[in-house]
Amino acid sequence: MKSAREDETCKKKPAIDWFSAVDQFHKLSCSDLSQLIRDSGNGPIRYAKQNGSLFEIYIESLARYLPLHLISKLLLFKRDEQHLKYLLSGVRLLHGLHDIAYCHSKLRQLLFEDSSSSACAVDLIFSIIVFLSNFKQKLNPPSNNEVLYHSTLLASSLYLFKACISSQWHDITSVLLAHPKVDVFTGVAFPSVRVVINFLQAKLSAQHTDTYNADEVYSFSLHCEASLQFLHSLCQQKLFHECVFKNKDLCKEGGVLWLVQDIMKLPQCKDPHLMVVVSRLKSKILSIMLQLCEVERISFLDLAANTTEGLDLAKSTISEVLELLNIMFCGGVNGVSAYNPRGILQLNAMRVVELVSDDSNFQSYIISNFTEVLTRVFLVPHEEFLSSWCSSDSRAAEGDITLNYDSYSASGQVLGVMSRHTSHASKPVFITNSRASQTSYPFAHQKTSLLVKIVTNLICYAPHICKEEENDLFLNKFFQCLQKKRSNLPDGVAHGGAKRAAAATRNLSSLLIHAESSTISRYLNKDDVQLFTVFVMRLEKLCKESDIHQVKEVHNRPIPQRSTPDGCKRKVGSVAPRGVDETNIETIGSYLSNMQLKSASDGMKNVEEVPEEESLQLKKRKRNIMNDVQISMIENALRDEPNMQRRAASVQLWADKLSLHGSEIASSQLKNWLNNRKAKLARAAAKNTPGGGGWVTDDEPSSYGAADPTQQKDVTGSVLRRCVRLQNGQHVVLVDGKGEEIGKGIIHLAKGIWFDTKLQESGLCVVDVTYLKVDENTLLPNPCDATGTSFAEAQMTFGRKRILWDSTKLLFIHPLHN
């Protein structure tokens, strides 16, 4: 670790009371340290020790030789609490000197213009990372302070690159790649982060014990996130992640995968603030994994799968990603709500599965361990499936909040020279959140396209790579899952095998229509759509063959016989003697007849009885000029313009819009459809029965036969309507109990579970407030652990004012009037 340059410099450096300098100066604020330098003029800084004696030091000597002094301390190989504390104090002092250097010409010239000083600082960072990566768990676990000093020292050392080189990541990358020991750095950086992640894992595993302190763990988790975020930012630079890819220990020996696995194993947390941090950690490490997989040449996963141990490690890591998606799609310990419904974590997890599902090393593993989850996705009630997977919502996915990590403040809090925050409901002073970034493409479109790609990858069969028995493996597995009896089905799904198959094929057909529409087709290539079409057709055929087989089994079954009072055996369906229960006989005969008719007329229908109303709806749907997506779009438009049929320009505009999402629709067809819909609503209102939805207006009868008395006008004069049907993405006005406007926002989540709050049962929904008329410190009417007690606390947690609001106190407003 000791270079020739260091040996030469050590001979020239003056005698300095290093312990006193580090111990006294690291406690000063940047402004106090800067004032000491000004007061010293061109002479030495004179400072009093705690015992009253004076020591003096030239600032140039302090700045030039401090990195070398800290490297010499590393050579002692001590790992006790006091040694880590001293190293952290020295790194903090070095951060402070760089922070104030621009105010002092000599200091600026030494730290930023003298290449040897910069090289010493880089050597120090490398040495500290090597030192921290070699941590071995001792017989006795480390103390809380030791763990805290360790994690803060790692983050502070990494961010020293930004202090001594540049705040721009491409500049830092250039310096690193030019360093002769860059392979050493890449080889130890990931293991060093893994060490602190294991510390965090141990702390979170104790969250149900009496000794658990949520505030301390939250603060600790932010230091861990800062270190991982540094690596994530570096890996976004193409040259750096190619350098990581070349590192044998990280890629071929599984160094990166071990870190991915450890982070993905972090448990869900009851504390919402910690859950947000854990989600960001998982999102960032999956992003790093994806970036490494995008390196051209041989695949990163192929390198990892070269050995049996590497393949097992890769599969166990992928299993953690599959489990995450299982929770997000189907619920888990804390439900889907534990994660941001539109967050980048879900997209990154789906991207990883899409990637590995196209890899022959892992395709069979994905089919075996993920098909049942996919089956449950397609078994949700049809309306819920359309809103989740066939949505035209154009809102972009919410990116992760970037932490602006202030190393000087962070180390100051840990070392006790700055006051620590008292509660994690208020942010630590060393963290400021950048506004959550928005990805460039709509979340709904990305999510749906990834689902289609995963399915199409799994049905692909390459004879020169895959085994013969793997042909149709996914199709058969999917069908078996549909037939399997299980108790954990989504609410509203029938438990009969045939009904489940019908529900799945209906949802698959809707997804196929959506995939073919221009809304999402730009995210899929033609091969994806064609393969998905083949899958849907083959599944329908398989379901049909299964139905016919079941019918034959019923016909070939021996006709049941009943004993009569006279002791004779009679076939069911024959004339029964007086007194015998003829109802049962008629029921069985009718059942068999219906089975024959259904099998002959439509093999795709269920062998179980289909209600007459459902049969009529199916017939009507065949004559519909619009698909489900188009109908959903026009219904949403009618909320804002209920009398669209009276305006020729609007009809033509919407006919053109709808034609982009399915079959072409003429303006005359749309007008006719609107008139029929209005007539249907009128007939329903006359019968005093619900009539098919739509938004109530003052000149259109409601579905309950009454005008809507809840309309209001906002200050712009636009009509506000009481939100009787809440949907994600709606623009709303928030009112209080007196009906006075509080602010405006967008509905983030209208139904489901959000941090243990059952929204529909509670009469609440999650709203992102975009405009607030009252003070940010105003108390929330529905406070919870996730949001805190005020709008300001919600902003601190989520980077936006995301709150719970009473659904009866929301007024719908067109987005143009926001």
Residues with Cβ within 8 Å of 11's Cβ and at least 6 positions away in sequence, in order, are: none
pLDDT tens for residues 592-621? 333 333 333 333 333 333 343 333 333 333
| Mean pLDDT score across all residues of the chain | 77
Could you give phi then psi for residue 92, rounded to 5 degrees?
-65, -40
pLDDT number for residue 186: 92
Banded model confidence at residue 663, pLDDT cuts 50, 70, 90: low
State the pLDDT at residue 697. 33
Cα-based torsion angle of the residue sequence 60, 62, 68, 70 in order, rounded to the nearest 10 degrees: -160
pLDDT of residue 94: 95
CB 22 within 8 A of CB 33: no
pLDDT tens track for 708-725: 434 444 444 444 555 456
Cβ contact 754:337 at 8 Å? yes
Is residue 189 a contact partner of residue 231, using CB atoms and an 8 Å limit? yes
Over residues 49-93, the pLDDT tens digits come to 777 778 888 888 899 999 999 999 998 877 789 999 999 999 999
Q: pLDDT grade, residue 496 (50/70/90)?
A: low
Q: What is the pLDDT of residue 135?
A: 80
Please spell the DSSP secondary structure of 311-378, one letter per residue.
Answer: HHHHHHHHHHHHHHHHHHHH--SS-GGGS-TTBHHHHHHHHHHHHHTTSTTTHHHHHHHHHHHHHHHT
| This prediction's pTM | 0.70
- The mean pLDDT value for 196-225 works out to 90
Is the Cβ–Cβ distance between 295 and 241 less than 8 Å?
yes
Tens of pLDDT along 346-379? 999 999 999 999 888 899 999 999 999 999 999 9
CA 722 to chain centre: 31
Tell me what percent of the residues of the chain surpass a pLDDT of 70: 73
Supply the pLDDT for residue 131.
93
- Average of pLDDT values for 105-118? 88
Specify which residues 51 forms β-bridges with.
none
Provide Rg for the chain, Cα atoms: 33
In whole angstroms, what is the distance from residue 803 CA to residue 787 CA?
Answer: 6
Taking a C-beta distance cutoff of 8 angstroms, is the pair 146, 85 a contact? no
CA distances from residue 637 to 443, 580, 644, 811 in whole angstroms, order as listed = 21, 61, 9, 16
Of 243 and 520, which is predicted with more confidence? 243
Give 793's contacts (C-beta < 8 A, 6+ positions apart). 425, 426, 787
* Higher pLDDT among residues 673 and 563, named by residue: 673
Give the per-residue pLDDT at 266: 94
